[in-house]
Amino acid sequence: MATPSKKDQLFLGSFIHSTKLDELTYLHNAAVFVDAQGKIVHVERDCDEQRAREALVPRLGWGAGEDELVVVRGGGTGEFFFPGFVDTHLHASQYPNVGIFGKSTLLDWLNTYTFPLEASLSDQAKARKVYSRVIRKTLSHGTTCAAYYATVDVPSTNLLADLCLSYGQRALVGRVCMDQLAPSYYRDESPAASLAATRESIAYIESIDPSRSLIRPVLTPRFAPSCSAPLMRGLGDLAAEMPHLPIQTHISENKNEIALVAELFPKASTGAADDSYAGVYDAFGLLTDRTILAHGVHLSESEATLIASRKAKVSHCPCSNSAITSGAARVRWLLEKGVVCGLGTDMSGGYSPSVLEAARLAALVSRHVAMGGDEKAKLSVEEVLYLATRGGAEVVGLEDRVGGFEVGMDWDAQLVGLGVVDPLGEGVVDDQEDGNVDVFGWETWPDLVAKWVYNGDDRNTKKVWVKGRLVHERK
């Protein structure tokens, strides 16, 4: 069980977080006070360590001794605290396949690369190796919260939840529901068996973290084509029965997939207003304000309107959409339609474990949308970082808990450090890791953040905390 830090904590230095879609707020020479439960209890601007200790620690009723207070200093050149990233869509079970997709597109990619690997994780030792690694890897990239798909298998799905709790990563963990259009070696035997296994996994995950402090189960119909109508109906009923339960699935990723959905779920069979993909989920009670829809690349105007009206959320997965040639999602258009968006790595349709890479690709893909004629489609550095933090938090329903540095939020954060080039240009100054971001010393703060977004990697994520607990530190 993930334990809080047990001590109060004082963080000192520069803090950067999103305060609006297109705005980062910079707090320099600031102090953030985090209590032993991992909650931010006070934020003070223009506050050095002395003032923090003398004026503020006593006011909070905290002790200032070494065994009572942890002080973390992050004020070096090119150093800043940033909210942890939220990865709103990834398949933990596919992690070993990152980068392996050839020239495939969605439906052949599933059969060729994905189903065999997922099925093999019913081997618990293999599942432990893969899941441990994906958690450790994503933590090292600053992902403090992840919405995971596991597999069809209940024990290994439960193992993923155990491991998230143990490593201290905040997570939604979903057992994958699929009872059709999948190989016979890898699917639920019937709608009833699928629903029973889903209930079993939900009950287990709720039992290991009853207060939902870190881990929660998520209802996970893989995507409409792999769920029969009875299973979809059963899952919709389950969603209604458990109104606290988030739901995650895929939508409108690939044109062949969309045609398949229209063929499998004609409106006459579902009672939907049209044959649209969004309409199918809606007809089965799965399009709710707790629903995370991955992709949404080819949504129609009316689907976006429906999604916005149901307050369902979209996980934008640009690495995946480009890699397996799904399309270029119109994020600006979705945002202007009122649809809340976050970012997903979508491993292993996406090749990278890094939400920072997803942010970078979100900016680049938005430029490809702009090249198609919609100049205002371009997403700025500020905007993609908003999607990676605040947007993601809202997508997974945790916007009151994580995503920024407000009092009352949990301390889910990363300490970012950028390399400062030495005077001769030979390398970086002493005691710094030689990463891929070079600071020359004349950059503005927004320049530094842009450099981080475009060239940063896990080497720049020096420390990571979830709910106040230090869960990753670079050696």
Where do contacts with a second copy occur on this chain (CB under 8 A)? 95-96, 98-103, 128-134, 136-137, 140, 322-323, 325, 327-328, 351-354, 361, 364, 367-368, 370-371, 378, 380-381, 421, 423-427, 434, 436-438, 440, 442-443, 447, 450-455, 457-458
Nearer to a second copy, 64 or 370 (CB): 370
Looking at residue 189, its amino acid is E
Within 10 Å of residue 190's Cβ, how many Cβ atoms? 13
Q: Are 85 and 412 in contact (CB under 8 A)?
A: no
Q: How far is the CB of 387 from a second copy (least distance, A)?
A: 16
Q: How far is the CB of 42 from a second copy (least distance, A)?
A: 34
Nearer to a second copy, 193 or 421 (CB): 421
Say how far apart CA 16 and CA 169 lie, in whole Å.
22
Nearer to a second copy, 274 or 438 (CB): 438
Measuring CA to CA, how many Å separate 363 from each of 49, 192, 367? 37, 43, 7
Q: How far is the CB of 100 from a second copy (least distance, A)?
A: 5
Nearer to a second copy, 158 or 226 (CB): 158
Nearer to a second copy, 105 or 180 (CB): 105
C-alpha closest to that of 148 among 217, 87, 91, 219: 91
Nearer to a second copy, 110 or 272 (CB): 110
Q: How far is the CB of 215 from a second copy (least distance, A)?
A: 18
Nearer to a second copy, 262 or 421 (CB): 421
Nearer to a second copy, 208 or 450 (CB): 450
Nearer to a second copy, 121 or 264 (CB): 121
Measuring CA to CA, how many Å separate 459 from each of 159, 180, 434, 452? 28, 42, 8, 11
Looking at residue 304, its amino acid is A
Q: How far is the CB of 392 from a second copy (least distance, A)?
A: 21
Q: How far is the CB of 354 from a second copy (least distance, A)?
A: 8
Nearer to a second copy, 48 or 447 (CB): 447
Q: How far is the CB of 174 from a second copy (least distance, A)?
A: 20
Q: How far is the CB of 32 from a second copy (least distance, A)?
A: 27
Say how far apart CA 207 and CA 202 lie, in whole Å.
8
Q: How far is the CB of 173 from a second copy (least distance, A)?
A: 17
Q: How far is the CB of 142 from a second copy (least distance, A)?
A: 13
Say how far apart CA 194 and CA 136 lie, in whole Å.
30
Nearer to a second copy, 196 or 450 (CB): 450
Write phi, then psi, for 302 (nearest 5 degrees): -70, -35
Q: How far is the CB of 77 from a second copy (least distance, A)?
A: 15
